Each structure stands twice: as structure tokens, then as C-alpha cells.
Amino acid sequence: MIVYDALDSRRSKIKILFMLGKKILLIDDDPDFLQLTSHIFENAGAHVIMARDGLEGISKLFTHRPNLIILDVMMPGQDGFEVCQRIRQISNTPLIMLTALNNEQEILKGLDAGADDFLSKPFNSEVLLARAKAVLRRSEQSNGHQTVLNYDDGRLKIDLEKHRVLIKGKQVKLTPVEFRLLTYLVSNTGKVLSFVQILDNVWGSEYKGNDDYVHVYISQLRRKIELDTKNPRYILSVHGVGYLFEKQVYDF
């Protein structure tokens, strides 16, 4: 279900001009949902391509080269997680997963599959467009010029220019959001960053109040870079406030 009305449409058309010229690929087996979602993006100026299942979606990904993919989790045959994993083997196109479920395990599964964002149904049309805007903006920023940041403590190595993270010389696979979160923390080493600061700088103002995003992604990062997730040394919690990154020194 999408909360949608004509007023939403007119507001979106005026305010969300970033969708002009953008190609959006919608992958969902529900024809009513496809039509409604297509209408939302078309009224924001986008060109919409629709697919009823994962195989058709992957085929249209090759054919149309979209700027953004909206992918539903619950589909017959291959579910959205499997489709997302297949897409990530061939493309880094920004991708938002949609689900009727709203729990941490679902979000973690989606992040592991390579999703850039996760949105639970039902949602407001303006929320969907705002999230799409944020994901597209982050993608464009990550492809642009960035200040070079290097970190190397003998165990963990981060190279922003090459977009790589290594543990003891072995590359660690991070999603674009995980990488951006880690580099933001590292660039503020020793400084306590509030949930609001992290959300605003890593996700954008559209995510205000979604502290759960920070907790879930921090959990993912710890799982990938910490020696012991129960006793983290890099990413420390400051109860009720936020997180900080603490530099380590290893001598192997």
C-alpha cells in the first residue's frame, strides 16, 4: 500500500526536479503496485521501466541502464534478496529494497545482498521520492571528487581514493553506504559523533529520526572489521549519544 494523492503528485512535480531525465527500474510482481509507483516517479519527471520478476528486471537492467532500481523483496521464484545479489555481481546501480516486513534481520539480509537502502511498506509517496533523491545524490557524490583519506594501523587499511578496505592485506567487501560510514568515522577519529551528525553526513537530512539505520550499519561494520564484535576496539559506543572511531596500532 502507498499513501498517494493528487496533491502529493503536484508537490513532487514542483519540488523533486532531480528526477528529470532519470531512468527508474521497478521490479515487482504486483501490477497495481507497479502502476502506482510508476505514476509517482513519472510525475516527478522520471522515465520508468517496469519488470514483473527478477529475470525480466536483470534483462531490462542491461537494456536500459537505469539510474536507480526499486526492488521488492517478496516475489515468486527468486526473491528480492537473490535478485539483488545477482544484480550486484554485474552492476553498482543504486538500489532500494522494499518489504512489508520491518525488522533488523530483514534489513541486515538486504544490506548483505548489496542494497543501498531499505524501505518498509506502506510508505508515503514523498518518503519514497526523498529516499530515491538521497540514494541518487550519494551515488553521484561517491563518483565525484573526494578528499583522499588513508588509514593504516598494520591490520586495518582504508584507501578512499581506490575505494578499498583491507584487513591484514585481504580486501573486505563493503557496500557503498558502509564505506561512506566508515570513512566518516575515521575522518573524525577520536571525536564523538552523535546519531544526528552521522545520519546527516552519511545518509542525508531525509533520514532524520531514523537512528536505527545507524545502529544496523554500525553492527554490520563491526562484523566486518572488528576482531571481536562483542568487545569492539575500532568503533566504540557512547551510550545515548553516538559513536566514535578509535585508532589502533598493531605490530604483527
Q: What is the pLDDT of residues 177-196, one digit of tens each?
A: 888 899 899 989 999 999 99
Domain finish residue from 142, 161, 190: 142
Task: Give the cell for residue 76.
Answer: 515468486
| Claim to verify: residue 52 and residue 129 sit in the same structural domain | yes
Residues facing 23 on adjacent strands: 47
| Claim to verify: residue 170 and residue 192 sit in the same structural domain | yes
Look at residue 119 and tell me if it is in a domain: yes
- pTM (2 decimals)? 0.70
Distance CA 17, CA 3 (A): 21
Domain span including residue 225: 150-245
- Taking each helix axis from N to C end, the angle separating 211-225 and 176-187, rounded to the nearest 10 degrees, works out to 90
| Claim to verify: residue 44 and residue 165 sit in the same structural domain | no
Per-residue confidence (pLDDT) for residue 252, from 0 to 100 = 56
Distance CA 196, CA 243 (A): 11
| Claim to verify: residue 159 and residue 188 sit in the same structural domain | yes
Of 123, 153, 119, 124, whose CA–CA distance to 9 is shortest?
A: 124
Distance CA 127, CA 52 (A): 23
Instruction: Name the band, by pLDDT with cuts 50, 70 and 90, for residue 3.
Output: very low
Edge-to-edge order in the sheet of strand 156-159: 150-152, 156-159, 164-167, 170-171
Residues facing 156 on adjacent strands: 167
| Claim to verify: residue 80 and residue 113 sit in the same structural domain | yes
Look at residue 8 and tell me if it is in a domain: yes
| Claim to verify: residue 47 and residue 129 sit in the same structural domain | yes
Peptide bond preceding 122: is omega within 30 degrees of 0, i.e. cis? yes
Q: What is the pLDDT of residues 37-56, one digit of tens each?
A: 999 999 899 999 999 999 99
Look at residue 182 and tell me if it is in a domain: yes
Residue whose grid cell is 498517494: 4
Q: What is the pLDDT of residues 204-235, one digit of tens each?
A: 877 888 888 899 899 989 999 999 999 999 99
Nearest 5°: phi and psi at 118? -140, 125
Look at residue 128 and tell me if it is in a domain: yes
